[in-house]
Chains A and B, each alone.
Chain A
Amino acid sequence: MDTPLPPAPPDDPLTTFFWEAARRHELHIQRCQSCGTYIHMPRPICRNCQSFDLAGEQVSGRATLYSWTQTYKPFHPYFVERVPYVIATVTLVEQPGLQFMCNLIGIDQANVDAEARMGMDLEVTFQDLGDGYVVPQFKPVGVVL
């Protein structure tokens, strides 16, 4: 395959934990070490208690589906051969309103209305895009890819 991968994460000390964990097939989310609030996307300060003491922590990888959209039009060369695909926002079970964006995989694209149900239970899985670029994804609980 000679199409380029999606742009790689920048060299950013704030988010390195996330991508390193993904390569180990673990989902880590930034958490305030002072008040316990999870924060996504990562920030240098906790918006609940203004602490700067923040670190990535492993989460359960369980979530519910909040919304989805099935994209037909590619906006980058990598996705030209991959449309349609489903972009989803999911709510991680660790904290109310803790939203995470991903693809919903492990569903039949031709039957998306029936298979992508708002509120359904999901679990994390990991997808290797190539060159060690591993991204956390979500799929219906129990689906084997």
Chain B
Amino acid sequence: MSVQRQGRKVAIVGVGYSDVGRNTGLSERHHAAQAAVRALEDAGLQAKDIDGASTWGGDAVDFGWMIGFDDLRWSLNVGVAPAFITPAYHAAQAVAMGHADTVMAFRIMMQQPPSAALASGAAMLGEPSMVDAQFRWPYGNFSPVQWAGLLMNRYMHETGATEEHFARFAEVQRSYAQRNPDALLRDPLSAEDYLAKPYVTKPLRVLDCDYPCDSGSAVIFTTEERARDLRQPMVLVEASALSAIRDMNFELLPDMVRTSPKHCGDLLWSRTDLRPENVSTAHLYDGFSIITLQWLEGLGLCEPGGAAQFVMDGETRLGGKVPTNTDGGAINVGRRHGANFCIEAVRQLRGQCGDRQVAGADVSVWANAVGMFSGAMLLTKG
């Protein structure tokens, strides 16, 4: 049974980024305002056309008032959740159910403190539950990069993937970034360059991590009916899903390599008649590179345990079976916390991706997070 099919058909009509960069000096509100204005311009909408807002980062009501939205009929501030998919999923649901007609979903993310500040004690990484942190901190386990190291190592043990597979992954992503003017990292990168970098937490290297930055992203959802009158080629929400399979202690899952993305993928495909083989482009979270591999498998885009070889075989490149992370991924475009995958999927379906356009793209999937929780959305060309 499809949740979304119970309501109105939803379209994505506008997308926008702020001036994303390293330590921009711009406030959270400033990033939200820039992203919103660009998404409105992209859609051909006025601020007063927006009657719903959701965000992770800042406050949706504060943003709406500041930018000059209509009186909001619906709003939501998201806490710790599977990245941008959460405000996006609920925005689409709000439109589908008629709680609002045109909703802007935000992800505003400010750059985290540098590691030198952490090592000196001048700063600490955020921690959602002090009560549980007592079982992590004495062991020097402070950062998500460390659960990612545990996951990556276990994945390599179970599948036979090697550091060379991850080197290829980094090289493929960078080759896309070189075709994307929005990417922050665009210098040529070889597999050898990747392997020459030191470990952050073995087997994981710095080029397995998304690139810290300040970013603002905004995406506008409205009805298919309203979308027909707007500026851009039609992009429709076909299906979406959220999954949560345990609390925030991802490291303690007894099976780290088969987690929420599999559950989420099964839910997603149960809500559509489309199948994994229909997917033209995939836009899969790469907060750490292992996460993209988890999604390739969780969504059934390759064989279980086969994602590393799928990448090695070039199947995620342009011309491969499933061109993946065609914007270069957050490893190269910077940490936009999932929103870049939505926005790039929309641009692929509109045919606006220039040198990196996948010819004839008509079905795109984007997905966020891993482990304890995740979310995915399937989009189609209207």
Minimum CB–CB distance from B336 to chain A (whole Å) comes to 23
In the complex the two chains form, what is the Cα distance from A101 to B151 in whole Å? 13
A41 touching B115 by the CB < 8 A rule? no
Q: How far is the CA of A102 from the CA of B146 in the complex (A)?
A: 12
Segment at the interface with A among B86-94, B250-258, B264-272, B309-317? B250-258
Known A-B contacts A72-B202, A89-B252; A10 and B131 likewise in contact (beta carbons under 8 Å): yes
Interface size for A (C-beta < 8 A) is 46
A77 and B254 within 8 A (CB): no
Within 8 Å CB of B120, what residues of A? 77
Among A7, A41, A73, A97, point to the contact of B254 (Cβ < 8 A): A97
Nearest B residue (CB) for A102: B139
Tell me, yes or no, whether B133 is within 8 Å of chain A by CB.
Answer: yes
Q: Is B153 an interface residue (CB 8 A)?
A: yes
Tell me if A77 and B119 are in contact (CB < 8 A).
yes
Expressed in whole angstroms, the Cα–Cα distance for A88 and B124 within the complex equals 22
State the CA gap A4–B199 with chains docked (Å).
25
Contact of B254 with A99 in the complex, beta carbons under 8 Å = yes
Cα A89 to Cα B249 in complex, Å, equals 11
* Residue in contact with A69 in the complex, picked from B121, B137, B146, CB distance below 8 Å: B146
* Most A C-beta atoms less than 10 A away, residue of B124, B130, B150: B150
**Beyond A41-B252, A67-B150, is A103–B140 a contact (Cβ under 8 Å)?**
yes
CB-nearest residue of chain A to B136:
A101
* B70 CB–A CB distance under 8 Å: no
Tell me if A17 counts as interface (CB < 8 A to partner B): no
**Taking the nearest CB of chain A, how far is it from the CB of B31, in angstroms?**
26
Q: How far is the CA of A66 from the CA of B140 in the complex (A)?
A: 18
**In the complex, which residues of chain A have a beta carbon less than 8 angstroms from the beta carbon of B6?**
none
* List of A residues within 8 angstroms of B137 by Cβ: 6-7, 76
Does B141 sit within 8 A of A, measured CB to CB? yes
Contact of A71 among B146, B151, B252, B253 (CB under 8 A): B146
Q: In the complex, what's the smallest C-beta–C-beta distance from A55 to chain B, in angstroms?
A: 18
List of B residues within 8 angstroms of A96 by Cβ: 254
- Distance in Å: Cβ of A119 to nearest Cβ of chain B: 9
CB distance from B147 to the nearest CB of A (A): 8
- Name the CB-closest residue of B to A79: B140
A135, B139: Cβ atoms closer than 8 Å: yes
- Residue B138 lies at the interface, judged by CB distance under 8 Å to chain A: yes
Question: Distance (Å) between the CB of A113 and the closest chain B CB?
Answer: 9
**Distance (whole angstroms) from the CB of A67 to the closest CB of chain B:** 4
Q: Is the CB of B138 within 8 A of A87?
A: no
Q: Which residues of A contact B136 (CB under 8 A)?
A: 101
Tell me which of A7, A71, A98 contacts B149 (CB under 8 A). A71
Indicate whether A69 sits within 8 Å of B132 (C-beta atoms), given known contacts A77-B121, A103-B140. Answer: no
How far apart sit A9 and B129, CA to CA, in the bound complex (Å)?
A: 12
- State A139–B252 Cα separation when bound (angstroms): 19
CA–CA, A76 and B133, complex, Å: 14
A-B contact pairs, 20 of them (CB 8 A): A7-B133, A9-B134, A12-B131, A14-B131, A41-B131, A41-B249, A41-B252, A69-B150, A69-B202, A70-B199, A71-B146, A73-B119, A73-B145, A74-B118, A75-B140, A76-B140, A77-B119, A89-B251, A97-B255, A100-B252
